[in-house]
Chain A
Amino acid sequence: MLEQEKIIEHLDAVFRDMESRLNGRAGSHLHTLHKASFEALRSTHFPDRKHEDWRYTPVQRLISPKYKLAEKKQQYNIAEIPELDAFKIPVINGHVILDGVDAALKSAGVIIRPLQEAMQISSPENISSRWLHTVMNTSNQAFELLNFAFHSGGILIEIPKNLSLSKPIEIQIIHDDPEISFSHPLYFIHAAEGSNVTVIERFEKNSTSPDATANGLINALTFIHLEKNAGVKHIRWQDLPETQSLVYKLAVAQSRDSRFESFAFDFGGDLIRNNIDVELDESNTYTSLQAGYLAKRRQSFDHQTRINHKMPHCESHELYKGIIDEQASGAFNGKVFVHPDAQKTNAYQQNDTLVLSSNALMNSKPQLEIYADDVKCSHGATIGQLDEKSLFYLKARGIDPQTAKHILKAAFLAEVLDNAPVEPLRNYIRSRMALDA
């Protein structure tokens, strides 16, 4: 039997087990979606390394374990980020803990709806609802379908028109199950016209449980839709246990005059696949994607970005800086498409990597496809080691070699970290980095 068939056969059993526990909710919108997505998944092959976008990802390591669905769990504890005042939304094993959602979020004007409910609102004026249906019916990617088939009911976060949220929203994502298991967080964020919000997605350990020993896979999907003149700042911080992997997909759609900035920081976990897709549907938008990461052991961090410039006068920036050490590997594949109508596009992309061991590996692939003639596009990639002269300088002042190396690593990542919003989170990441030197 082929590997793919074995995987589908196993997933089929998991799916049937999930259905057997629906307790009368069969036939609901969500169940229909689950079923349709699983059927689509059956005929969609999981990618392998022959697939160009998956060449540098040991995808077997992701899909071969026989995952079961992570059990619903109410007990959790996530270490607070000192001095961070945020609206918290806990997501444990793929379940949004609605009781745990900060009540102040509602009084601040933000509407949180379970997907089940959001999808039933089918008035044609309801942009969010239409958008949900479109997104869910058009996906053809295996991991997205896997999420749609197995998710346990995501949420829709609506930021109403012209609301500027005073505090960031902190979505806390934990996977905690003693058995080999996967979970599928799913959320949609809709920033209405003129609204402003900062969203932190924090993939963390459950500090009340011992570090997980069984393989875990978090297969998360985040959709962000920015209406006219909306501003969203997004930070993804990932410090998962060593046994857990993350397949993360962020899909962004931007309308006229909107501004989207995303920062990703990966330190923990095993295999991390970070996909960001940005659709620039209208003109005069601003997009910035940045990431800083430190891979060690046999970690594999893979960043895939795709920015689709469809309309004129849009600007996009990408800065990805990573440190790859020990036997770890990294990949950056940055695609920028500039369509014929997208004149006056300004797109800039940079990927810098420090490779610190002879067993470490980095693959960097910028990919610009330009079909318009009046545009400014550039890309660059560098791969290097720690600067010997700088190391000597620090040691010649009495700093021990280990600390000297750490200072230079932190300095390398500082360019991205210093740009990120939310100071308490920046400080938290800095202190976390200090432990990992």
Chain B
Amino acid sequence: MKPLIKITDLHVSIDGKPILNGLNLTVNKGEVHAIMGPNGSGKSTLANVLAGREEYTIESGTVEYEGEDLLSMDIDKRALAGIFLAFQYPVEIPGVSNSNFLKSIINAKRKHQGLPELNALEMLKFIRAKLNAIEMDESLLKRSLNDGFSGGEKKRNEILQMTLLEPKLAILDETDSGLDIDALRIVAEGVNQLRSPERSFIVVTHYQRLLNHIIPDFVHVLSNGKILATGDRTLAEKLEVEGYDWIKESNSVTA
């Protein structure tokens, strides 16, 4: 089977400072990969580089997505090709209503697929159905995009967008940060409902607790911009108990 995404020897820097130092990762269709690691290990950089964030410099390496060179694709084209980044810090944009924004992104995708745009009524019906699934209040649609949203509301809005866009590869960048336990459960359920043999996830997280709700197929430990250890969910449990120091010391481990 051809992998959905294949990252080979990726080196990335920002302002001349190396962040990723020869990262390799292959994700097949339907798999859930968790990326864990201490602060500053490069987890968020990886998530942002895949989505196309421009502040980073690709020094070397390749990323193949469905057999194509992902790194040469424009940001919006990556999204249309099925890559979705759930932001760690979703941007607040006053003056753009959340509902208009959601309409725009749904219609951008439909246009790309050669489908007609949804009219206002169809759109509302479509969005409402997904709202209920993640217990999100409809009043958030009328407000400006993420403007004045609580941390939990912002993350729910990210998950809402993910369920509306049904990506092939969803990258969750510390989606658990700033969430209380109820919000965490709801967000995780949103993700679990989307799990399918056709959809893959890269779940970037600092803590193991999200992985109690989203059970990963693989857990990778990132340190100094490299994957130092790969295992199943028990690796995450071990990290929760023992911390990251043992991996940093042993340099390369297979659990």
Chain A contact residues, CB within 8 Å of chain B: 387-390, 392-401, 403-404, 407-408, 410-415, 418
Distance A401 CA – B74 CA, assembled complex (angstroms):
9
Closest to B51 in A: A396
Query: Which of B11-19, B103-111, B125-133, B188-196 contacts its partner?
Result: B103-111
CB-defined contacts of B108 to chain A, threshold 8 Å: 397-400, 403
Distance A220 CA – B78 CA, assembled complex (angstroms):
51
Distance A413 CA – B75 CA, assembled complex (angstroms):
26
A398 close to B109 (CB less than 8 A):
yes
CB-defined contacts of A407 to chain B, threshold 8 Å: 93, 96, 101, 104
B95 close to A412 (CB less than 8 A):
yes
Distance A403 CA – B199 CA, assembled complex (angstroms):
28
Q: Decide yes or no: A415 and B95 within 8 Å by CB, A397-B161, A398-B112, A398-B165 being known contacts.
A: yes
Q: Decide yes or no: A415 and B93 within 8 Å by CB, A392-B53, A397-B105, A397-B161 being known contacts.
A: no
A411 close to B76 (CB less than 8 A):
no
Q: Is residue B85 contacting chain A, with contact meaning CB distance below 8 A?
A: yes
Nearest-Cβ distance from residue B157 to partner chain A, whole angstroms: 11
User: Per-position contact with A for B161-173: 1 when CB-CB < 8 Å, else 0?
Assistant: 1000100000000
Distance A414 CA – B52 CA, assembled complex (angstroms):
29
Q: How many residues of B contact A (CB 8 A)?
A: 27
CB-defined contacts of B78 to chain A, threshold 8 Å: 396
CB-defined contacts of B53 to chain A, threshold 8 Å: 392
Choose among B87, B91, B101 the residue with the greatest number of A CB atoms under 10 Å from its CB: B91
Distance A404 CA – B51 CA, assembled complex (angstroms):
16
CB-defined contacts of A408 to chain B, threshold 8 Å: 93, 96
Q: Decide yes or no: A411 and B94 within 8 Å by CB, A398-B76, A400-B76 being known contacts.
A: yes
CB-defined contacts of B144 to chain A, threshold 8 Å: 411
For the complex of A and B, 9 pairs with smallest distance between CB atoms:
A411-B95, A414-B95, A398-B79, A395-B75, A397-B105, A393-B91, A398-B108, A395-B76, A411-B96
Q: Is residue B54 contacting chain A, with contact meaning CB distance below 8 A?
A: yes
Q: Decide yes or no: A411 and B93 within 8 Å by CB, A397-B105, A398-B108 being known contacts.
A: yes
CB-defined contacts of B79 to chain A, threshold 8 Å: 395-398
Nearest-Cβ distance from residue B139 to partner chain A, whole angstroms: 18
CB-defined contacts of A398 to chain B, threshold 8 Å: 76, 79-80, 105, 108-109, 112, 165
Q: Is residue B90 contacting chain A, with contact meaning CB distance below 8 A?
A: yes
Closest to A409 in B: B95
Distance A212 CA – B165 CA, assembled complex (angstroms):
46
CB-defined contacts of B95 to chain A, threshold 8 Å: 410-415, 418
Distance A61 CA – B79 CA, assembled complex (angstroms):
47
Closest to A389 in B: B91
Within 8 A of A (CB), among B114-169: 144, 161, 165
CB-defined contacts of B75 to chain A, threshold 8 Å: 392, 395-396, 401
B91 close to A397 (CB less than 8 A):
no
Beyond known contacts A401-B74, A408-B96, A414-B94: 14 more, CB 8 A cutoff: A392-B75, A394-B93, A395-B74, A397-B105, A397-B165, A398-B80, A401-B75, A401-B76, A407-B93, A408-B93, A414-B95, A415-B94, A415-B95, A418-B95
